[in-house]
A and B are shown apart, each in its own frame.
Chain A
Amino acid sequence: MNNSDNPSAATSNSSWMTGGKMLGMIYLLLNLIISVAAQVVLRAAMEQLGGFEPGNAVGYFISMLNPMVIGGLLLYGSGTILWLLCLTKLDLSFAYPAATLQYFLVFWSSWYFLGESISWMRIGALCVITVGVIIMSLDKESSDNDAS
């Protein structure tokens, strides 16, 4: 919104918005898969380490420096970069609700890869959250505000 006094920035922004929708969707898809993979790897790694107690904090933090945790964090970082790339190509009012697919993918992965039991209560709650996010993204004026 502060680009009006900077013509070069304004033109480069508008060309980003019009072109590359397809590329934006690819970024979004990769972001979904990589972010969910990161969470699954991190949960598996931390479950293996056992529950954290403040009493043994130093030893615990050292044991966190293992390949699985670091690998998970790298995936997490890649997911964040893909999300930022995605936001340069897609409108926030589309990307935000689309990103809630992540919640459902995390549920499925928790059940499939981690053997967690998913109750109907949790799935119902997730649907309620998704509806809330969709309502928020209907607010065109504020999402334009955020995107700038």
Chain B
Amino acid sequence: MNPLIYVFISILFVTVSQLLFKHGITLIEQQPKPENMPKWKSILRMVFQPHVFGGLFCNGLAAICWLLALSKLELSYVFPFISLNYILVPVAAAWILKEKLSTTRIAGIAVICIGVFLIAFS
């Protein structure tokens, strides 16, 4: 099995966690904020919001997959693949969260794609 699979699973988990964070935070902002809530309490409320918590869990899974990737592949080879998140996150946000995807952003994504391809064949 190609060890790059661990890199891609890790990146997918990171993307999923970003979407969960954004969705969870949006849900929190829609609720009325209780008066005089101390900062530590509002942080706890954020962390234990179910979507945010799920996002943190996915981030943990991503870290484990990343370690498995590092057990087989050189750091300078795998690390640039992290930039795939710059591509996946905006695309998934446009698709699932209905965020806008501007022409500038699409151009940036295309250039990053070229860079990642070059790394993959290096």
Contacts and interface: CB of A to CB of B under 8 A. Distances in A.
Interface of A: 2, 6, 9, 39-40, 42-43, 46-47, 49-52, 54, 64, 69, 73, 76, 100, 103, 106-107, 109-111, 114, 116, 118-119, 121-122, 124-139, 141-142, 145
A107 B115 CA distance: 15
Of the candidates B71, B72, B75, the one having the most CB atoms from chain A within 10 angstroms of its own CB is B75
A136 B67 CA distance: 29
B104 A39 contact: no
Contact of B33 (A6, A127, A128): A6
A121 B70 CA distance: 21
B37 to A, nearest CB: 11
Interface residues of B, number: 44
Interface string B66-98: 111011101111011001001000100000000
B74 A103 contact: no
A29 B66 CA distance: 24
Of B72, B100, B115, B118, chain A has the most CB atoms within 10 Å of the CB of: B115
Best-buried of B63, B71, B76, B90 by chain A (most CB within 10 Å): B76
**A52, A122, A136, most chain B CB atoms within 10 A:** A136
B115 A52 contact: no
A76 B63 contact: yes
Contacts of A39: 75, 79
Nearest to A122: B122
B107 interface: yes
Contact of A46 (B71, B109, B121): B71
A126 B67 contact: no
Nearest to B110: A132
Of A73, A76, A142, most B-chain CB atoms within 10 Å: A142
19 contacts: A43-B74, A46-B67, A46-B68, A46-B70, A51-B72, A52-B68, A69-B67, A109-B75, A118-B76, A122-B119, A122-B122, A125-B116, A128-B111, A128-B114, A129-B80, A132-B83, A132-B115, A134-B108, A139-B102
